[in-house]
Amino acid sequence: MKKYIQRILESWRCAEGGLYSTEELLSWIQELNRTTTVQIKECSLNDSSFWFFDDYNGEVLNRKRSFFSIKGIRQFEGDEFVREQPIIVQPEIGYLGILCREIGGVLHFLMQAKTEPGNVNCIQISPTLQATKSNFTRAHGGKFPAYIEYFENASRYRVIYDQIQSEQAARFYKKRNRNILIEVDEEIEVLPNYRWMTLGQLKEMMRIDNLVNMDTRTVLSGLPLATSDLTETEKEELGDLFSDRALFRSMFETDISETLPAIWQSINNCKMYRDIKTVMVPLNQLVDWENDEWGITCRKPADFSIRYYDIAISGREVQHWSQPLFRAAGQAVLGLITADIGGAARFLVKPRVEIGSFDKIELGPGIQLEPSHGRRTEDSAEALFWEKLDAGKGVLFDHLLSEEGGRFYHEQNRNVILKIDARELNPLPEGYFWADYRTLNHMIQSNNCVNIQLRNLLSLLGI
């Protein structure tokens, strides 16, 4: 097991590149951006022969009843109304899969340069396979997704990680995808829009705004680094690969029993005692939302609206289509506050209830602020975060990264990793926990425990 972990960490350290230099990869992406034709314009729902509004059921869907639909949802706690909104209903489980292979003694990951209709910058680095069930069953009538056969026959290869994980529960209703990472030994034909990259290159490119997509980040967050018991000699050898000794200790020298029981108690108390329920309603019964042929818009400040788009993208399985996309009203701010406690890195986390959660609640980052939240602070953790960020103190990472471009239009959120002295946040506000990397990595090996915002932030860490 130590050798397997060492290979991942060595790939992580290999930021200068293996098969290709990072400069060559960036030039390749730049050329694809220049040669890929993308035409996206707003349109009327009445212009589409595929999507329509069902007056009887009050939902937006397509004539094959495939892909997804948009319905209304209301949330209650006990008898008290909490909120209402449109939501994406996509019950099928899709693939987010990455193939990896050792090349020249270094583990490489096969990544796709993919254009999604909602991408703010055309090409983004995506998993080897990024496909809904409608894609790989060819409900759209297009080609089979490339490399699907490796994932459908995963038992023939070494499966490093395989979990069904949640998507953004503020936009999707109980949506999940299969996050899977497979190592192969055989030669693979590399198609024109694919390249082998080291983990270190991917980590470096996460520091370029909107380059590495959300789906890549969630898969890589699941790498099972901290779930094995190692000897002192093995840990000493792995430690040589780290510049960040506090993160090393957080991965390999902490005791998950210190924090995990308290986190589970908080999550399970919510599931057991809080009477949170949701009810699907027709879109035309949402009190504060207006629905017409051009989209769905809230009469009050909201985090998003919905618009209809006519889309043409060269090089995809289907190259011309129309669909609705959720358009963000601004940038969300997602923050991972970290502190060295007892010589190990700890991360501020908080269980979070979201309207579309698969099982009411998941563990989220300490800072998770939707656009409508603005600058208001609800507790000392948020207040300290803004104080430090505004002053530029302790900022380890601060970049705009895109959300899922297949459903969201130009949605880019500010992702921040911020280091503080733990004494600055003592006592912790109610509901927060300090958790080590080992605990969080352990939780990600199970499904529906850690939300996508926290998983993606963890993928941004460097060793």
Q: Could you report the per-residue pLDDT of 6-57, keeping only the tens digit for each? A: 999 999 999 988 899 999 999 999 999 999 888 999 999 999 999 999 999 9
Q: What's residue 18's pLDDT?
A: 86
Is cis: bond before 127, omega within 30 of 0? no
**pLDDT, average across residues 325-349:** 97
CA angle 253, 255, 258 (to 5 degrees): 145
Q: What's residue 117's pLDDT?
A: 93
Q: How confident is the model at residue 441 (pLDDT cuts 50, 70, 90)?
A: very high
Q: What's residue 140's pLDDT?
A: 57
Q: How confident is the model at residue 346 (pLDDT cuts 50, 70, 90)?
A: very high
pLDDT tens digits, one per residue of 370-406: 999 888 888 999 999 999 999 999 999 999 999 999 9
Q: Decide: helix, strand or coil at residue 190.
A: coil
Higher pLDDT, 414 or 374: 414
Name the token pair of 227.
């779930």
Residue 229 has pLDDT above 90, yes or no: no
Q: How confident is the model at residue 137 (pLDDT cuts 50, 70, 90)?
A: low
Neighbours of 373 (CB within 10 A): 15
Distances (CA, A) of 51 to 85, 155, 324: 20, 38, 8
Distances (CA, A) of 354 to 38, 166, 340, 359: 34, 12, 30, 10
Phi and psi at residue 76, to the nearest 5°: -130, 150
pLDDT tens digits, one per residue of 266-312: 999 999 999 999 999 999 999 999 999 999 999 999 999 999 999 99
Phi and psi at residue 371, to the nearest 5°: -55, -40
Q: 236-240: long-range contacts (C-beta < 8 A, 24 or more apart)?
A: 237/2, 237/6, 238/2, 238/5, 238/6, 238/9
What is the C-alpha to C-alpha distance for residues 57 and 457, in angstroms, rounded to an integer? 38
**pLDDT, average across residues 441-456:** 97
What is the C-alpha to C-alpha distance for residues 406 and 226, in angstroms, rounded to an integer? 32
pLDDT tens digits, one per residue of 139-177: 555 678 999 999 999 999 999 999 999 999 999 999 999
Q: What's residue 400's pLDDT?
A: 98
Topology, domain 247-276+330-458: Nucleoside Triphosphate Pyrophosphohydrolase (3.90.79)
